[in-house]
Structure 1
């Protein structure tokens, strides 16, 4: 078992950042770091199995005595040792020596951390001489008057201002409470009482609260048997000390970790063809130690389906051809199948010949099962995500779309590639963007794990898609939020039905209100025609002149034709009033304006007219498409028909949101209308305001009825010879 422990030590000290060498009780090298091989041994090939003194023949007798004392159980934290190298130069090394024990608690060897401090020694000699003159990096306490002096370097280490005035008490109080403070207090007390010196490594807490390791050296000046002065130096050894402590911590932690994690260690010796397992390996494999027969035992417990693959990897490793790294299954005595992860590294001698493998193995069954379950869940989620009739999308924490299903693409009219190049906000209706950002923020903060709300999207064709969305946060294996999943149900038809129902209620109210007005129109117009025809009929009966009778008959025919036209127009108004609700839908105002512009392209060109559309593409109105086109067409054609002869026609259409309405301002620079004269009859039937022979006075009448049928409003401002502005208000979609 000692071989197993030493092999493990050799494996784990190799990459140490310090010059570390591990020897057994015979001072034979069983492990070393690459730094030690290069800087201390000054070798390029392996020195395993060699005598420490053979590799370093310049080792002093003092060092040998110390190593022997440590092997006998004496504890020596560190020691500066002097030697002569092969070139006859004096070399100093600071050696930190620790003994290590086998599984029975018996000292089995030493670990030696060697640090070349030759240059430090030379600098120290120079520094000691310099301190007598400049006190660089030093401190001094005059016990006769209690005055304390620190050099600038000492103040820098303590992180105090250069004008700082220390005293003996505050100097000691900088040392960390506990071992460090107790030790420096003891050193100073004994120096004052006995004149002793000290050289210790302790921790101080600087003025800025930082913990720093320092090497504190103290000397005394004694006069007539009384210590009258103590002085010393500081060396900041924080980085070196922390590295040293970290190395010991890692070594201890490794031992604890392998035991706690049930990681078994094994060792195979090429020369003796001997396979050794530690206790944890026997536990992992559920093998009785008394029945263990090395390699044959391992072969016998490998699962048949993994046998050839595993044996091939084991044979390559045991022949020294390749490091061992594979997964395989074993069968416990009770028939249970377990998954094992095995790794092993080949150790070579000085001639680069493989001498052993040191490896580790551990049970990964739970990991494999979890991975398999995760794979199944992922496949299930992928299937649901891809085949769902509901739109689904995956969004990262920045709002970028990272996955969508076919239903989502179909709902919004985009291809998958187009959506993957967008963020969720790119396809969101502008009025809903701020609300969506708040939802995302609340999910990311953890305030909610799921949010359900109504939201509007843009279809690729510009239409609005109303949806019911459910956004759920998804965490990774460590519990950290990684992305969001969205489920989107298209409820556009439901929303439009609700709007149609609401519009029906509102329009019905409007129709009831306008019924009486319409009755007056019918009564007035029909009464005018009937009175005229009655009068002509009487004239016809009373007239005897054939020529005059013929003239009256002609007038009677014209009156009948005029009556028929009036009935036709009144019927058209009835159709407007009753048919609007059945065909109202969300319509893009900009698209409608462009359609009318294209329809009148020839007339626009003939009149050399210009136009300007200041219509937001997000402005949608709830309208009958044919009515909306008719309204814009009538206003557009009137602007061209009644344009001023002395200037080119110019038409401007502007839209803006006003509460629940979209307000449309239709402005031209035409002839204008005298509102003082015609204002009250501007939207009346058969009302004309210019001497245009083609004018019938029905257009604005029809336009007003179409707008009111869609629960809208129309009004105007106009100035004669300057132009007219019609103001339309239609319900926002």
Structure 2
């Protein structure tokens, strides 16, 4: 509710005739809220026809008026304030309407309030049609403006003119402005309004005629406004003694009517356009409007189509059926027997697609067509309007455009994103939009050669300069991969490829080519390298011909060969009799490739001819569009006998598991694995084997093989975990111990976890200044770094980025290593006793297996060291390793 304390200091005359003729609902009350006068609109709006209200209390006529409203009326009388509000009003018949209220005091003398004026406007229709708010907002605003009604009076005896505060606001004059008949007329627009108004006023003065006119004025602030002036003369003894009335600002309504007229004219012009086909249908599908554009496009006249035909006259049935089906599915209807006229009563259909129209002469024309629903005031569909544009010319060029697009797409695939062109004669350089994107350069920049050169990493600038010089000399552009520092400081790996264009004299006149952002690819390669180097097994990747393509450090160690002696060599030179297993991978049909699994009983040949028993896990891999075989090769010299017995003699599995458990009391946690993870698969295998032996059903036998494979794979996974842990507990030789740089191990770990580090935003800092290296088992140390750092990121806090600090110290030969993080932390009082146990997890993480810390502790203790932990929940954890 808005209140103002501004009081009108002039007497507001009232008269029954003036109030009755007011064009809106106005009532005048005395201090006791008894009716003095009411307009006809008031009587009508409040359903008071035939009821005597003059002299009666407003509260008696409307007993449902709340106490709050009564107190508001009294406040307006006591303090002379104006009130503007919107409140619901309940009539005697129970109907409720939302009314806009304007209450202000009137005066019988200076500073003496005689009662109240109450002016109301029914704004219920505006609220009821909120769905059409955008459409009716302007009209609603105009209605509110119309409610600003001011009163005026001219006393012919005293020649004084009175304007209420609202009138002064309309004319945009100050509150102390004194109007006269002369200066009032000066506000009217000279050419049109002034002659008309002068005539009307003259008629009222001499003949006592009432008037109601609209005119244009120019306000004191030089703004143009339209006003409505209603006036009535007061005649005493046959002589006009004064004229009084009301003034309304109708500028908004006038403007709305003008705009509506203009919009109607524009819509009519669009509808009558000859370049656009427009027709509409009624709710039964019969065409009811057919414009000139439709006549020209289809060859039918409006008289032939309107109220006679449907669009089926010129639409192909297959396209109509597809349209109906698409619309039905879009709105969740059954496509069978669907009709967009009957089955979409209120949906807002708006569909744009290509159609084929069949002209009257039988020729066809392609069009881009939009079908939209037409609604009535209640929001129900009463038909459709269809706007179509002839796209024949567009179709004529379609094949050419498609061909060019195919060529461009091919070029995009070949050039991989960015394109560049350097004209040596004009020194002009052109970049494709994608090259701007790669370099993060604003497209408004006109590039030159130095633009790109300046972005090249300083260490790579000599390389790119050399490539350009060689291209000029040899007329051949050699591809190169360089580092690019973008305008935002990002470092990207970019592969540059190009060609040198020569003239008839054989001179290089232009260089052009492509730029490919290979940052992600390089990261993947780096990560792959890290994965390969951190793998405990020797890794080989060979192609279909059996040639070695990729190896890791463990491969060099296993075969005691350098990379030059292994790469590009034939696999059977190092692993005889492996080709039959490789051929089983079925290179010819990648869709049918399968995991070959573990291959045993093979021999590896070292450089000196020494034979090494090995176990190989192999499988097909898709690599750069080529199918290759990945080999994970393990030296099984020490455990060959035990593992062969475990795999081939299932009846000894439980005995072997028991022996392994008894060998070291620290492996007591394996009881669960040996009793469940091993016994259950063995029992399952025995059951399956019994069924296989006793059945004669060949189909059942064949299905049992699949079940054997599933159980064996599960068994293999359990055994691998068991073997790795046992191998950790087993003895190691002096050959396993070497001098290792902590920083080198950390670098390998970062490469291996590069993707997770980027994804989590982890910060890894290290301080190896007090101890930079150690003599240790390298695989164990790499495993320790990998498990502890990956744990810190795996159990990071969601509320902050992970921060990992690694510090090494050497105190009198006692080397200590600390890993500190700011992760979730561990409740050591509750979980400390089982922190390093097997299969023990302390957080609900999908990747938590409870193996990492167990293996880490086993590796450290096998080398004579210890590991301990301190932790605080939601603060972080510190693992401390004492190596001596």
Relative to the length of structure 1, the TM-score reads 0.33
Structure showing greater radius of gyration is 1
Q: Which has the higher contact order (CA 8 A, sep 6+)?
A: 1
Relative to the length of structure 2, the TM-score reads 0.28
